[in-house]
A and B are shown apart, each in its own frame.
Chain A
Amino acid sequence: MEAPIRAREALGFILFSLLFSICRSSSLNHLLISNAERRIDLSSHIVKVFLTLKVENAGSTPTSEVLLSFPPTQADHLATVEALVTKGKRKKTTLVRLDVKPTELPDAPNDAKYFTIYLANPLKSGESTTIEVLYLLTHSQEPFPAEIAQSESQLVYYRDSALILSPYHIKQQTTFIKTPSTKVESFTRVEPSNRAGTEIKYGPYEDHPPYSFSPILIHFENNSPFAVVEELVREVEISHWGNLQVTEQYTLVHAGARHKGVFSRVDYQSRPTLNGASSLRYLLARLPPRVHSVYYRDEIGNISSSHLRTDSRKSELEIEPRYPLFGGWKATFVIGYGLPLQDFLFETSDDRRYLNFTFGCPLLETVVDKLTVKVVLPEGSKDPSAVVPFPVEQHLETKYSYLDVVGRTVVVMEKKNLVPAHNSHFQVYYTFKPIFMLAEPLMLSSAFFLFFVACVAYLHIDLSIRK
């Protein structure tokens, strides 16, 4: 029982059957998975896992909760878990999203972490349903060797289990692993397993009891740049004069194998495919349509290497860092843009206003370790509340900007470990009286008025003692 799932060192070591005869809660006992198929996509540095589970209720009572379990090492890197169920017959199928919540179980073996899927309709006894689960893992490919020279390509380890970790009995299961290229140095064999092209197949395995685990290690080439934003601060400033100003501060790092020794520009320029194959040359940011006054700079000034393409549905900003990022190299930069307010600000029926904006990072194929979204509401707005589709940490701040007196309320939301799948919309509700818009112009004009009055007064007053 001693933590086989943590056995990173144990290459190719197979440990079967974590058999549990202990009592489980009733809902666990009477479910079983008749067929499971798992597809792991390793083509980028974000690991995408598609899990298709055919769940069958073998018990006598109807249940609506299905548990997913993850080994703790994976659970730490788990960015998102989604579950879908297909509804309707044949052609008219629609996918329905199900609620997924992290769950704590008191007697989890080896600190396994659980997520509960709540089915829309309880599964009656003897019935079965198919659930599609998608989960994304970040930082799950470990570069080995950890340091590479410019001309070497990047090799990584991926660790998982050949068998799906599940609290249920699985009758039949198969795992397909897709590697980015055909270059696979080694992979753990758990018969039956074979490799064809860019795909490694494990299974089918029959009849495995709950908590079966069989560690596998795949060593393969992955030259996609590991673009990781260590910290991203997005500031969305609402101006009721019609503009939404977004400022995004990035700390970007290439989290792949560290660059070692020489960087030769002549090699890099003359043989780009062989040299620095895993280097990060450019990034693509997908911005909302009708974006204007885009800038891309860092603390020492404008970075000239960027292109903006706009059409009616989206805008794409292609940015190149000042220098190509090799493994371990960092860069910081700021992207800012303005957006027309009417695309994002709406009014509710009860006279409140709300901002509807995307939460995550606009860069494609990028992991964000820590994201802070700050929504700066106009001066004088009250009762802010944020609605975010996933759990975030929230608090309020006050910011003083152009000629503010009382300051602007800032709704701050923080979240760790984000992937592009988090680019869903969130809403910030607040109340605002339009009269506050006039505060600053009035203040300015009265200041000038007073100044001129003072001038006139000064010119008409003679303070000299002698006449």
Chain B
Amino acid sequence: MGRGYTVEESVEKYLTSLSAAAGSCKTGLLIGQCSAQKDFVVLAVKTPHRESEGASDSRRVLGPLDDIDADWVAEHARQVSRMLPGGVNVLGLFLITPPELSKEAQNKLKGLIFAVDKCISKSRLWDLSEDDVTDRVTLHICSKTRKAICKTYDVKDPKCSAKPADWKYLSCISSSWPVLTCSVKVDLQIPVTESSSEKCMKHGLGRWAKQIEAGLCLINGRPASDDSELLSGSKKSTKMSQQALQVQILVTEEDPVQRCSAVVQASSGSVHVRGTVHCRAYIHTNKPRTRHAAQAIKRDVVNTVSNRVEMLLEDLQMNEGGPASEQQDLPRRVFAPLPGSGLTVCDYMFPDETAADVAERLKEMLDWESAEEDIDTSVESPADEGRDDGAAQDVPIESMTEPVKQQKTSQYYAGVAVAAAVALLATATSLLYLNE
């Protein structure tokens, strides 16, 4: 009773061509969507060649399997997962080896799978829910016989053993997957202290992420909290055109701690993140539930903001920071269609970059040539010249309304019917006597 993976035919072609280029071992990522019943793989991407690959020192005799750098594979996986919209994730890894290394391949795959999962979940701001599938798939392909062995590992349990899984190819799996979209306004003010600004940022973003996670989600105007089916009423047909679903997210600002006074902290500065982000998620067509769709889009909201902030801070670190107080544009989200499927992937374009830079990154990370025209940069607006008062405030104070209850009393007019009026009077009088 293992998992069953339904895989795009284009993936088969890709893996075959990779295996044909014989030689040393090759690793790569398998990308798709998991659900309770079925799992879908829509893309395979080989791990890019590491330029500074250590020259094979003759001081150690290592096998080609040991040459595979788990950290490099994991880092690639982390960067690729930033390029995936909501609902689409790195599901596992493939490993192509010559026949003589087939035996050690499984062990290597297991180590890689856990390394990849650890790296991807490091900077995640949301927690896994009970619904989330924690099985990751490994595919070992023998370069000579082209035989593929598919197994899964549960990344929740480091001591687990591999479980067999089904792997079958099908065409046009994702061509009609519905896409959920929304634009989210972000307005966060996070106080930071000099010593732990990163921790403060993470904490501030984490609190916002929890708000989003707990928010009410409307899909095409209907609440998406229960177990109802997302695509009820629509007949399932392979030639069905892709449905676009509009999402709205409503949040409350509840503060469970009962306090008497405001929380005041001394800080050495604050970070203000403001603007609008475009969010997108895909959901499979195998009887999806509204709450899974809601979860996918909410996670995309959180991911896109935290990824961008992370990218900017990484960039600043590399370039020795910048002036202390200033406004910087976070990279803009752009989308590119994934060939042979109904999905898009995304990338983040810094203000000084062009579509050509994006295309280059897509080639490097996802191993495919994309035409510059295909890259959709219109989804988010570019940074504008006119800045309004993002500049320093003297003592920024953040306050939020926490609506606990709002009540309204409405008084009924007794003038509905004459007969009724008399009865009402009688009740009212007796009440009067008894109350005061």
- Whether A associates with B in a native complex is no
